[in-house]
Structure 1
Amino acid sequence: MKKGTIFWMILAAFLLVIGLVIPITVTVSGDTRVILDHTHKVYSAPACFDQADLTNNLEETTLKYALELDYVSESSCTQDQLQETKPFLIGIFQ
């Protein structure tokens, strides 16, 4: 084999190992869509809307706006949906 080929194989193997062991932090964007309940002053993630105990005084907006209003999450479901994740670097490419 040529030296150049061996170099690229070693580099690829090194990058693969790095991608498997380095975790990254993925934060929730302020532009994430949430549903506000103005009566209870809470917000809900769309995935949790069906099981949430909300009134009909609703508004669809962003997480940033909900936090500016000092609204709190409606349930642990919403907290789970909107929490930071720490996948490994290689997970980005899937």
Structure 2
Amino acid sequence: MKKGTLIWIVLAGVLLLVGLTVPISVTSPDNTRVIIDHTYKVYSAPGCYDQAELTNNLEETTFDHAKDLAYVSESSCTDNELLEQKPFLIGIFR
């Protein structure tokens, strides 16, 4: 086997190993839509709005703006919708 071929095989193996073991962080983008309730100072993901117990003092805005206002998540449903995921590097190729 040629030396160059062996180097490519080893390099491919190392890259595969790194791809299977190195986690990457994926969070909701700052421009993700959320609904904020100014009365309770909470935010809700749109998918959780129907079950959220919010007032009528609402505004649709971005996740970044809700964080800037120091509003908190209204429920575990919203937390799950905006969950930070840590898939492995190989997962981005699926």
Alignment root-mean-square deviation, CA: 1.8
Residue 80 of structure 1: how far off its partner (Å): 2.1
TM-score scaled by structure 2?
0.81
Q: Which runs of 5+ in 1 are unaligned?
A: none
Deviation sequence 1:26-66 (CA, Å, 0-9, x none) = 23332222111223221101222232222333221111211
**Which residues of structure 2 form unaligned runs of 5+?**
none
How many percent of aligned residue pairs carry the same amino acid?
Answer: 66
Give the aligned length: 94
TM-score w.r.t. length of structure 1: 0.81
**d(CA) in 1 for partners of 2:70, 2:9:** 53
Q: Which residue of 1 aligns with 2:60?
A: 60
**What is aligned with 2:71?**
71
- List structure 1 runs of 4+ shifted beyond 6 angstroms: none
